[in-house]
Amino acid sequence: MQFIKKMKRRKLIVTILCTGLLTGGLHAQTAKARIKIDVERQTDRIDRMIYGNFVEHLGRCIYGGLYEPGSPLSDGDGFRKDVLEAAKALNTSIVRWPGGNFVSGYHWEDGVGVREQRPVRIDLAWGFRENNSFGTDEFVAWCRKAGTEPYFCVNLGTGTMDESRNWVEYCNVEKGTYYSDLRVKNGYPLPHKVTYWGLGNEVDGPWQMGHKSAEDYGKMALETAKLMKWIDKDIKLVVSGSSNYGADWTRWNRTVLDYLKNHADYIALHHYAGNRNNKFDEFMASTRFAERAVKVTEGLINEVRAKTNRNIYIAFDEYNVWYRARGEEGNEEVYNLEDALVVATYLNIFVRNAHIVKMANMAQLVNVIAPIFSTPEGSWRQTIFYPLELFANHCHGTALQTFTDCETYRLRAEDIPYLDVSSAYNEETREVIINVVNRSENNAIATDIISQTGVFGGKAKVFEVNGQNIKDENSAGKQTVQTKTKEVTAKGEKFTYSFPAHSYTMIKAEIRL
């Protein structure tokens, strides 16, 4: 009888354990998660340009954001000093300008020369009036002060091939030609030397001025690229990839890559995440399509690489959370903690795919769906500022292939890991950098972090972005969500760390080989 009772108890225990495994739920008494780091399993160097931003002539991004002449917070050139300092704190590597949808109706010659003589235009993209007081020379001057690289996008919507190549001449030719001498006349004797140029913006989208088919865009972009590189052979060109994911976006990317395979250096991808259904678990998985788009586009790039010896990479030059303030008050989205976690998962994607993603630009830098928010009295940092600041200042070196073993949750037909992880090895500092987003709303996840080559040196620095509630927001008077730091012991081949619920954590640990 006792034997039968014991067997029944064992059967019950087995049933409970199996039920936990099948449901994929996160329980208090489950085995620890594991993250395995191996500094010999390297992917590629992390390009610092994945920590870039984007500014567009939309709402208060340029006027009242970057540029506000007459403000006591601005310098002699009219640039907001507090915004410049915040951009420097983000270690902003490259900034894309002037759009965005705006660029498809923008004619750069409107924005050079005497400010008082520049024309006021109707911006058909966003419905604003553009006075053109901030143009080519002002943007380059701002970039130099911010210590960042300018990235221009040309108008292939309503613009012409000549207009694009003339812009390169204005910026990059030293002197002795019509447009280079015009720059000198405008007070800039030295060339701007703008290296990065985008061939239009979202041209596959029906919402775009000058929307084209893949073939029509491919033909125009090819001829434009030829002229631009004949002016300056050293520039780098970004072809406009698809942003219309409801259409045949893979065909678009394949077609334009085939046309531009001998001229393009990058193909642009865009993606925005949202949480309209207010479901945390779905929102935390919303960037997984962006990673699939990277993988698919990498395959298309490999197709054209078979026809040419040139390398083409991905420029993910628009990404962010954006769903609340579309078309309202200049798209001034106010971000919360869960938005910051999604931004961290985007950055994990770029690091994991460092071999193919060589540029990324958060849209946008200030006020408009932005990490920085300015007012006439000052500026403050939104929740999404902090993960970008951590990655841009600390996650350098070589991306690693990381093994992660943790529990998952079921979302439609997919199992979503609770831990989203990327890692890197910095040879200069002999540190590993481990980035972890805990997608669980309610549970901390105890995790063994294992070094498979070398041992941890003794101490690790931990940076954590978190808050009491997933809906916590920042404001001018209160930084509810920000980065907190501490040290933990990390010694030998393994240490254990418990990643708090709804958090982004960066761990920097010395590795002794």
The CATH number of whichever domain residue 188 belongs to comes to 3.20.20.80
Q: Does one domain contain both 62 and 37?
A: no
Tokens of 401: 């292939």
Question: What confidence tier does 11 reach under pLDDT thresholds 50, 70, 90?
Answer: very low
Domain that holds residue 450: 29-44+400-512
Mean pLDDT of 16-30: 37
* CA separation for the pair 512, 173 (Å, rounded): 49
420: domain CATH number is: 2.60.40.1180
* CA separation for the pair 115, 71 (Å, rounded): 18
Burial 134-153 (b: 16+ CB within 10 A, else e): bbbbbbbbbbeebebbbbbb
Q: Does one domain contain both 132 and 220?
A: yes
- Predicted confidence at residue 30, as pLDDT, reads 54
Q: Does one domain contain both 215 and 97?
A: yes
In-domain check, residue 51: yes
Question: What confidence tier does 309 reach under pLDDT thresholds 50, 70, 90?
Answer: confident
Q: Does one domain contain both 202 and 256?
A: yes
Q: Does one domain contain both 220 and 344?
A: yes
449, β-bridge pairs:
35, 495
Q: Does one domain contain both 347 and 255?
A: yes
Q: Does one domain contain both 460 and 379?
A: no
In-domain check, residue 7: no
List residues with catalytic annotation: 202, 318
- Predicted confidence at residue 330, as pLDDT, reads 84
DSSP 8-state symbol, 17: H
**pLDDT by residue (tens digit) across 244-260?**
999 999 999 999 999 99
pLDDT over threshold 60, residue 438? yes
Q: Does one domain contain both 455 and 433?
A: yes
Q: Looking at 367, 394, 421, which one is the last position of a domain?
A: 394
Rounded to 10°, the helix 214-231/249-260 angle is 30
Identify which has the larger pLDDT, 280 or 29: 280
Mean pLDDT of 166-186: 98
Q: Looking at 394, 425, 446, which one is the last position of a domain?
A: 394
Q: What average pLDDT does the chain have? A: 94
pLDDT over threshold 60, residue 483? yes
Q: Does one domain contain both 387 and 477?
A: no
In-domain check, residue 6: no
Q: Does one domain contain both 100 and 137?
A: yes
- Position of tokens 């590189």? 229
* Strand residues in 19-58 grouped as ranges (E): 33-37, 42-45, 52-54
Sort 14 into a burial class: Cβ within 10 Å, 0-12 / 13-18 / 19+: exposed
Tokens of 41: 């399993």
In-domain check, residue 18: no
| Mode of pairing for the β-strands spanning 129-130 and 121-122 | antiparallel
In-domain check, residue 17: no
Judge if pTM exceeds 0.85: yes
In-domain check, residue 328: yes
In-domain check, residue 286: yes
In-domain check, residue 418: yes
Q: Does one domain contain both 381 and 492?
A: no
Mean pLDDT of 313-321: 98
Q: Does one domain contain both 240 and 98?
A: yes
Number of structural domains in the chain: 2
pLDDT over threshold 60, residue 8? no
Q: Looking at 354, 379, 394, which one is the last position of a domain?
A: 394
Mean pLDDT of 147-174: 98
